[in-house]
């Protein structure tokens, strides 16, 4: 089965899928069970062996940021050589103690890999408001550094919390110039975790040689089209982090504004979109994914798409495979509260159901066909609102009793 | 048991509770089972017998408004004499046909009560995107007009959809001048309904004589402090409507800016706050209510309080009686996304748990005590954020599997 399972991601013609645990040339990684979680791998270490490694990163926009995000933001984000990750504890709101632990996490990885602390980023995911066990973490990083391997198996497993399984891929990208490079990524994210908190993390590696500008540009553009477009429950994490590292180990240099840069960007785009869709499909308790596309006024499409994707009414209707378009109109109306009455068209799975804000009559067989179409794993909604120049999409999970059970379960 | 059940509403000293189905002098009402719902009362009619009746109204701010809201907004909202209501169908997004039905609803009530259409407001609640049966509705209004009684029993029952029970009260208000007037209200609202849509409706009557300015002022202020402060699931309805009618039948005239006006306002305030809290407590699937109080910057308190009240993580933690303060900090951080990192204090049930964004250490017995405090029907959260001059509160329901089951159930 192809990694590009979602119909909303086009598999680029110029990529070939390798083993999903493979890494590009010149990268190594490890995972270790340090006892931060009750069981399983919980410390991960990723390392680029090449001195001239270029990197880029993106972080949560929350006003409440975790200690590892603060420490990573102070590192040299365009020249990272390693990333030290832990799951089981997100290291948030633990004051100076949490900051000191985050710095110890960075320092331990730097020492074990013979790097400067500024060359090491860190990331954490799990429960918040609890002390992260510093000694277990530091010991785990040292153990991991002693067991590095040229694949991402243990590393990507070490990221997981309530995820149903690993989210990872490795692609061979054929460039227009005739050269090939590798591009890999490992991610985690299922909404709310452990059972406290949502965190999405993604680590991307390529053995192409790119400039810091290209790394930053491609990361920025593709994150906006992937993780920024998905929602399990509308709750922004304190720990979201995406890191890209390009080490040039393939010997293939990719210049700015060339067809090769575009081709690498296309591969990265498809990779991250599919990973984002994996997170939505693996949303806590999720049974089905939705995609809402909104076209209309430039400033209006985003709040309307978000309001629909985050509405518990739309999400429960998606769970029930119920073509309950009234709830979609209601959410749009709420997003535009204060605007004058608006006129919309709505299609579900390509079939128009609302024209100029009036529900179209449907006979029983048409209705049954619409319901049947909503039984699929991925359901698409398209909304036209007043105005022009704007178009956006948001991918979202349904809302099931399992989400509620998971997040109301006693957590301490 | 007193009507003022919530600890968040102070029972005014100067009110006496009458039978909850009583009406002020000079009002009459009726309910009728017209067959719009599969069973039960579904058409209600409320009438002020006094020619010089003053009124005020407030409606949903959604950009998608129901036909009855459009028709009511065109009526003479400062001099309404009657209101015709139906449950079972919200009359939304049915185009010209829906508008014609809403006008027929208004006209039928006007004719039956010998009024002008502009003296009649209307309101609907229930499923949307379906045709409202015009003939059943019109016939129901005629039947109701033939069975008017000086109490609100059948009328308030006719409003209900997924509500667990009626929401109504009648108060005798002792004014500083020594006179007494009556003040009554009937409301409905439980989140999402029938099983399509949320709608809250509230009808208020008094036999005091007040100016249109006083009616509008008191309605505006008290709605802002009651229904505007509550959320079952963050989903703004297309049909929300509040109507106040003052007919002067008590012979007591209340002048503007007098102690009597203030005393009537205080009674109205407590009445509407308790009704709003009834809606929260009766939220679909709800087991427990929360109140979040946020103090800090004037522009910041409202988005922060809303983000907390509407977070599915905070709501599921409330269901589980889990003092999961990390989720409250996360929601606040999300609401302030883009602002610089912020510093907050948090108390739960009067006990401080976070100081300067750092979680305070608690021993096992302190933790157990906090959990026990969260087992109550009403749980209070207080958050101090940066800045000054702002303070707000939002009342909210928890999120339970029953909410999901109710709203994902097959609806057609």
Least confident of A58-67, A155-164, A350-359, B372-381: A58-67
Cβ–Cβ gap A62/B333 under 8 Å? yes
Active site residue B199: yes
Cβ–Cβ gap B235/A331 under 8 Å? yes
Q: Is B163:B190 a contact under the CB 8 Å cutoff?
A: yes
Q: pTM of the entire structure?
A: 0.75
Indicate if the pLDDT at residue A92 is higher than 90: no
Pick from B229, B233, B211, B209: which is nearest to B221 by CA?
Answer: B229
Return the pLDDT at A292: 93
- In order of start, what are the domains of chain B with their CATH numbers? 15-281 (3.60.70.12), 289-408 (3.10.20.340)
Least confident of A10-14, A277-281, B256-260, B337-341: B337-341
Indicate if the pLDDT at residue A192 is higher than 50: no
Least confident of A234-238, A247-251, B83-87: A234-238
Taken in order B339, B344, B350, B353, the sign of the CA dihedral is positive
For A197, the closest chain B residue by CA position comes to B327
Least confident of A211-215, A322-326, B226-230: B226-230
Closest Cβ opposite residue A196 in set B198, B324, B403:
B324
Identify the DSSP state of A321: T
Which residues on A lie below 8 Å from B231 (Cβ)?
A: none
Cβ–Cβ gap A334/B235 under 8 Å? yes
Tally DSSP H helices, then E strands, for chain A.
Answer: 11, 19
Return the pLDDT at B246: 84
Return the pLDDT at B234: 66
Task: Give the distance from CA B237 to its chain's centroid.
Answer: 12
Mean pLDDT of chain B: 85
Which residues on A lie below 8 Å from B360 (Cβ)?
A: none
Return the pLDDT at B104: 97
Any A CB within 8 A of B162 CB: no
Residue B390 CA to residue A110 CA, distance in Å, equals 46
Q: Is B297:B385 a contact under the CB 8 Å cutoff?
A: yes
* DSSP-derived secondary structure for A228-249: GGEESSS---S--EEEEEE--T
Tokens 């007037």 correspond to B181
Segment A254-289, tens digit of pLDDT: 888 888 888 888 888 888 778 777 777 877 888 999
Return the pLDDT at B133: 95
Any A CB within 8 A of B124 CB: no
Cβ–Cβ gap B322/A412 under 8 Å? yes
Least confident of A14-18, A106-110, A255-259: A255-259
Tell me the residues of chain B between 262 and 291 that have a Cβ less than 8 Å away from chain A: none
Closest Cβ opposite residue A94 in set B319, B330, B359:
B359
Q: How far is B410 from chain A (nearest CA, A)?
A: 6
| pLDDT band of A60, cuts 50, 70, 90 | confident
Cβ–Cβ gap B235/A338 under 8 Å? no
Indicate if the pLDDT at residue A53 is higher than 60: yes
Tell me the residues of chain B between 187 and 226 that have a Cβ less than 8 Å away from chain A: 192, 196-198
For B197, the closest chain A residue by CA position comes to A327
Return the pLDDT at B356: 86
Indicate if the pLDDT at residue A198 is higher than 50: no
Any B CB within 8 A of A59 CB: no
């Amino acid at each position: 089965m192809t990694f590009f399972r979602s119909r909303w991601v086009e598999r680029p013609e110029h990529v070939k899928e390798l083993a999903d645990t493979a890494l590009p040339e010149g990268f190594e990684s490890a995972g270790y069970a340090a006892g931060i979680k009750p069981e399983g791998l919980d410390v991960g270490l990723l390392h680029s062996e090449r001195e001239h490694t270029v990197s880029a990163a993106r972080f949560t926009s929350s006003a409440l940021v975790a200690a590892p995000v603060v420490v990573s933001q102070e590192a040299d984000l365009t020249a990272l050589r390693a990333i030290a990750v832990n799951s089981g504890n997100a290291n948030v709101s633990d004051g100076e103690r949490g900051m000191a632990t985050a710095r110890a996490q960075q320092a331990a990885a730097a020492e074990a890999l013979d790097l400067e602390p500024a060359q090491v980023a860190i990331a954490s995911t799990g429960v918040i408001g609890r002390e992260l066990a510093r000694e277990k973490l530091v010991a785990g990083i040292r153990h991991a550094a002693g067991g590095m391997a040229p694949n991402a198996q243990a590393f990507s497993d070490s990221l997981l919390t309530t995820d149903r399984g690993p989210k990872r891929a490795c692609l061979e990208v054929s460039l227009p110039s005739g050269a090939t490079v590798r591009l890999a990524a490992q991610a985690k994210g299922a909404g709310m975790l452990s059972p406290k908190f949502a965190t999405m993390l993604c680590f991307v590696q390529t053995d192409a040689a790119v400039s810091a500008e290209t790394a930053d540009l491609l990361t920025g553009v593709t994150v906006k089209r992937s993780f920024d477009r998905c929602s399990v429950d509308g709750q922004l994490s304190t720990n979201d982090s995406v890191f890209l590292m390009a080490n040039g180990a393939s010997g293939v240099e990719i210049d700015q504004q060339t067809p090769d840069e575009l081709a690498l960007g296309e591969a990265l785009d498809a990779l991250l979109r599919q990973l984002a869709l994996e997170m939505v499909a693996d949303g806590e308790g999720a049974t089905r994914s939705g995609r809402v596309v909104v076209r209309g006024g430039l400033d209006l499409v985003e709040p309307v798409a978000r309001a629909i994707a985050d509405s518990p009414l739309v999400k429960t209707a998606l769970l029930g495979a119920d073509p309950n378009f009234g709830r979609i109109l209601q959410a749009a109306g709420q997003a535009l509260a204060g605007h004058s009455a608006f006129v919309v068209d709505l299609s579900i799975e390509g079939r128009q159901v609302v024209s100029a804000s009036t529900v179209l009559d449907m006979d029983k067989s048409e209705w049954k066909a619409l319901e049947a179409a909503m039984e699929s794993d991925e359901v698409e909604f398209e909304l036209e609102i007043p105005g022009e120049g704007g178009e956006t999409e948001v991918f979202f999970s349904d809302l099931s009793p399992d989400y509620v059970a998971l997040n109301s379960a006693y957590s301490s």
